[in-house]
Structure 1
């Protein structure tokens, strides 16, 4: 399908969630994805929905109204995490294709149920793992799949967030369920078709230790072993003062490949204080092209009536690792993943 055809027949999209990421998704859908038309916005805060919808010429609706609206073909869910499952099931049951931000659910049973509902309705279900659509990560995946570095042996993925604006507002286990969930998906994706067999995680509150008693963990390191013998590490921290830092590295029997660079441009300033580069300060800034490409994939899947390249199954596999991390931290021991636990 040509670009002109996509513009002539845009997929009509409704957005649920008018918070930080919802605002970003609205801008991307309305201005960067020719094949999409943002037609409705829903949020429990009516004023937030009205404001965001008005900015892009869309209608402000309740979630129920949005799901019942025959004009809406597809739904992007960018609401709070604890609402993802309920909203996904309601939207798919209404016959809408769904793009759900990560994590798609907080238990494997929840994700299984959402996958089943979408399958029964015959609609696309995509999860928001944006790194797969970032140009450098996608190229790394292609090269690994083509055998450019031989057999993967050591893998590394990291996420370092610039800061904690409100430590008291961070739900327990966020570091695994919402931050490192991206890294887990990245590692699983880069080491396909291998499966994780063991997980060991350590975590602490080093950035805001006064909130540890309330359940905050802001620093974590995870070791994952795979059934092909590869060993992977994932790490996260919420105090990268130098910018939003996301990188990956895969070392194999025939070479190594890296992905991720937080620099805003290739410009480097050299002065008496040293070398200086401007860095990205947020996920939206760093991955704007990835966010755009994942929505292009979503609307193409809807239009072509096919499964998207990142599905609920991928969401389940990443959550399996995240839940293993939580168990490992709680027990202080490695967690074995078996076919039964999967």
Structure 2
């Protein structure tokens, strides 16, 4: 495409994350314009469009996807709609950015990847931790051999509050929360593939919803083909705030990432020390969320492959599905080699 005209992007989905991405497209990225917003909920797209000065708002998602004036589509809808929308956008010839997870089955993931490949359009998936300065620096140091060979890895996600357990679909903790950690662990162990998974999970935050399929606390152990052993853990309720951290222990050293503090300010007083904690993911990863869309826009303009691909999303999904199978079977689960390189 021409690099002289602003990149025209349409966004599908106006929830909390969709609204943040829409604001990024409208106000934070030079050379990008938010050209259209779609959401099937009556009035949702119009309200967001009016707030951001977007010229088009519609309840018809297909209309947006097939708009010939758009260069790219950003998908921020409920997880189980992602794969179908990726296929539709690729078929319409649009570059695609899709929030995680790209799909919830491997068959869906394969169709989405194939659709983008056949159309020759970029497909980027929203694993934002790769764009966080600390996690990115850790990856670069590991890839350069700064801590030798990774041996033990850890990644955790603790959400601040489980607001409405009745609205949490089954297996969400693996497919939508720990999927970030699975990608992070892969990224922090460059060139290695997960080969075995063992998972444990329970409803410790809301045990009264366990019989409805809710699991709100989980630990997953992953073995990689380079011998490294990793753990990923998640909870849907950390009373102190939003908590995301990582650690890689290697043969020549260790790296840690993540900080729950809003700033580096610590208060010392007669009752001890205290620090203000981050409450939401958009606080902790604000710059990373912006950076990933900036990177997507650059890949569309330049034609280079996206930094986070559909194949990356499929690999993380394969770990999530193995974890679900492990919970069901009660034992470790082997992971087949990925179909896509």
- TM class by shorter-chain length? over 0.9
User: Structure 1 residue 227 and structure 2 residue 225: aligned?
Assistant: yes
Unpaired runs of 5+ in structure 1?
A: none
Residue in 2 that maps onto 1:48: 44
How far apart, in 1, do the equivalents of 2:246 and 2:303 lie?
33
**Residue 92 of structure 1: how far off its partner (Å):** 0.8
* 4+ residue segments displaced more than 4 Å: none
For the structure 1 residues 341 and 66, does the alpha-carbon distance in structure 2 shift closer, same or farther, using more than 3 Å as the test?
A: closer
Equivalent runs, 1:95-244 vs 2, <5 Å: 95-244=93-242
Partner of residue 318, structure 1 = 316
Distance in 2 (CA, whole Å) between partners of 1:247 and 1:36 is 32
Deviation string 1:137-167 (CA, Å, 9 cap, x unpaired) is 0000000001110000000000000010101
How far is the alpha carbon of 1:68 from its aligned partner?
1.9
Within the candidate set 61, 64, 68, 2:62 is matched to 64
Q: Which of 30, 33, 36 is residue 29 of structure 2 equivalent to?
A: 33
Structure 1 residue 284, shift from structure 2 partner: 1.1
Corresponding residue for residue 266 of structure 2: 268
* Cα separation, partners in 2 of 1:71 and 1:160, compared to 1, 3 Å: same
Question: Superposed, which structure 2 residues align to 1:299-318 within 5 Å?
Answer: 299-318=297-316
Contact 2:201 2:217 in 1 (8 A): yes
Contact 1:131 1:182 in 2 (8 A): yes
Q: State the Cα RMSD in Å.
A: 1.4
Conserved? CA contact 1:125–1:312, under 8 Å: yes
Contact 2:315 2:338 in 1 (8 A): no
| 1:32 shift after superposition | 1.5
Q: Cα offset for 1:9?
A: 3.2
Whether 1:338 aligns to 2:340 is no
How far, CA to CA, are the matches of 2:211 and 2:30 in structure 1?
Answer: 47
Q: 1:231 to 1:14 in 2, by over 3 A?
A: same
Rounded Cα–Cα distance in structure 1 between residues aligned with 2:252 and 2:335: 29
Q: Deviations over 1:45-84 (max 9, x none)?
A: 1300100011112110221111121221100000111111
Distance 1:257 1:340, change over 3 A: closer
> How far is the alpha carbon of 1:85 from its aligned partner?
1.2
How far residue 305 of structure 1 moved from its aligned partner, in angstroms, is: 1.7
1:35 CA displacement: 2.9
Q: Tell me how far apart the structure 2 counterparts of residues 53 and 258 of structure 1 sit (CA, whole Å).
A: 40
Indicate conservation of the 8 Å contact 1:220/1:236, yes or no: yes
Distance 1:277 1:100 in 2: 35
Number of aligned pairs? Answer: 337
CA contact (8 A) 1:39 1:72 kept: yes
**Offset, 1:28:** 1.5
Alignment check: 8 A CA contact 1:35 1:296 kept: no
Instruction: Assess if the C-alpha contact under 8 Å between 1:108 and 1:320 holds in 2.
Output: yes
Give 2:89's aligned residue: 91
Distance 1:9 1:220 in 2: 47
What secondary structure, in the 3-state scheme, does the structure 2 residue paired with 1:39 have? strand
- Please, what TM-score do these two structures have when normalized by structure 2? 0.96
Structure 1 length as normaliser, TM-score? 0.96
Instruction: Describe the superposition over 1:181-202 as per-residue Cα deviations: whole angstroms up to 9, x where unpaired.
Output: 0000000111011111110000
Per the TM alignment, residue 269 of structure 1 is displaced from its structure 2 partner at its CA by 0.5
